[in-house]
């Protein structure tokens, strides 16, 4: 991965409030900018990208715009805000077409372009994603980023618990594949459809490129037991067995591969399990450690350091370039052709 020096042109426009989010459509060269005061300002860029022409302003929200998305097929501008409103406007007339009040501030917004009747689903993914699936026990932190694969109809979500989850929506199987490769909260996602690779970026500057063209497995559910399911030693809350066996209870752990409840002695080894999304070494029981082959330990992701706190990314598939912006007020352009191919 090679860093490219980005030259900033003199093209600029002064806004009525600080920018909070942006959406750019290369086909129409339409730039939609969400502002801290709830306004969405729209611009058209010239063919040589040396001029920005103001088009219109949408009075979309009562407070900061959190996400904005322009849908060319419908000529709609979708947006969410800190006022807990999800609204959509007609980009031609500027008229508000509809809105819905969410139960929490939306942290991500994706629209499945191949399904013209799925606006309700787009709202569901943006606003209720954390609420619905955290109740199911699959998400342990707030959703911080979303990315949609229109080909396989798969949704990727990044979370503050450092994980990425792949949700099989199109297959209607309800499967959820975990990807564990970050040491900080995941703040941006981008999917490269033609190579089936996922790019995830975290708050500590880490960039992970995942190979999603491999067969992955769901992580098992953790089993409940009052004693180790390997050596049958009691856990510290199993007073009856502790009394009968005259042994001190042990602390409970779980094998990440089989999900069994085991003691520390029976799970002292560590191993990576990339097919299950564990790129780092995790706790496994002795039996699973012996069963895991070197082929199963082969990594399915590459790791890179951007050296800044990434909050937004955009991948240009035609050039193979990745644009990252961070809290350090720096924009970086990366040549990803050596790793995204």
Residue 145 to residue 122: CA distance in whole angstroms: 14
pLDDT at 141: 62
Predicted local distance difference test score (pLDDT) of residue 256 = 93
Residues 6 or more apart whose Cβ sits within 8 Å of residue 36: 17, 18, 19, 20, 64, 65
- The label of the residue with tokens 């069963």 reads 291
Residue-wise pLDDT for 158-201, tens only, equals 888 899 999 887 766 678 889 999 999 998 899 998 899 999 99
pLDDT at residue 153, as a whole number: 81
pLDDT digits (tens, 9 = 90+) for 37-71: 999 999 888 887 777 788 999 999 999 998 898 98
pLDDT tens-digit readout, 128-154 = 444 444 444 445 567 788 888 878 888
**Is 219's pLDDT higher than 50?**
yes
Chain segment 273-294, per-residue pLDDT in tens: 999 999 999 999 999 999 999 9
Mean pLDDT of the residues in the chain: 82
Closest CA to 273 of 292, 254, 301: 292
Structure tokens at 115: 């399904």
Residue 253 contacts residue 263 (beta carbons within 8 Å): yes
Could you tell me the two tokens for 303?
A: 């790791």
Tell me the C-alpha distance between 187 and 160, whole Å. Answer: 8
**d(Cα 324, Cα 226) in Å, to the nearest integer?**
49
Q: Strand, helix or coil at 180?
A: strand
Statement: residue 221 has pLDDT above 50: yes
Q: Any idea of the CA torsion for 195, 293, 253, 206, to the nearest 10 degrees?
A: -30
Query: What's the token pair of residue 249?
Result: 């209870």
């Amino acid at each position: 991965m090679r860093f490219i020096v980005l030259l900033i042109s003199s093209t600029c426009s002064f806004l009525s409030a600080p920018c909070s989010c942006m959406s750019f459509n290369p086909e129409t060269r339409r730039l939609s900018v969400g502002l801290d005061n709830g306004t969405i300002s729209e611009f058209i860029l010239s063919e040589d990208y040396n001029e920005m022409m103001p088009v219109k302003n949408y009075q979309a929200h009562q407070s900061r715009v959190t996400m904005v998305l322009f849908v060319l097929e419908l000529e709609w501008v979708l947006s969410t805000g800190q006022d807990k409103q999800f609204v959509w406007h007609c980009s031609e007339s500027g008229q508000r077409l509809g809105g819905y009040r969410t139960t929490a501030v939306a942290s991500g917004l994706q629209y499945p372009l191949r399904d013209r009747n799925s606006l309700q689903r787009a709202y569901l993914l943006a606003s209720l994603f954390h609420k619905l699936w955290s109740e199911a026990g699959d998400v342990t932190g707030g959703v911080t980023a979303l990315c949609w694969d229109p080909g396989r109809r798969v949704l990727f979500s990044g979370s503050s618990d450092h994980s990425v989850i792949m949700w099989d929506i199109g297959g209607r199987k309800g499967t959820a594949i975990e990807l564990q490769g970050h040491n900080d909260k995941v703040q941006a996602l981008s999917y490269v459809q033609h190579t089936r690779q996922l790019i995830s970026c975290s708050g500590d500057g880490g960039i992970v490129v995942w190979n999603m063209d491999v067969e992955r497995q769901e992580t098992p559910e953790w089993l409940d037991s009052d004693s180790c399911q390997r050596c049958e030693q009691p856990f510290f809350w199993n007073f009856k067995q502790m009394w009968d066996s005259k042994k001190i209870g042990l602390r409970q752990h779980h094998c990440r591969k089989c999900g069994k409840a085991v003691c520390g002695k029976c799970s002292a080894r560590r191993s990576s399990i990339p097919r299950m999304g564990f790129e780092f070494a995790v706790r496994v029981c002795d039996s699973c450690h012996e069963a895991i082959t070197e082929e199963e330990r082969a990594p399915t992701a590459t790791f890179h350091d951007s050296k800044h706190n990434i909050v937004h990314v955009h991948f240009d598939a035609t050039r193979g370039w990745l644009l990252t912006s961070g809290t350090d007020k720096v924009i970086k352009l990366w040549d990803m052709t050596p790793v995204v191919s």
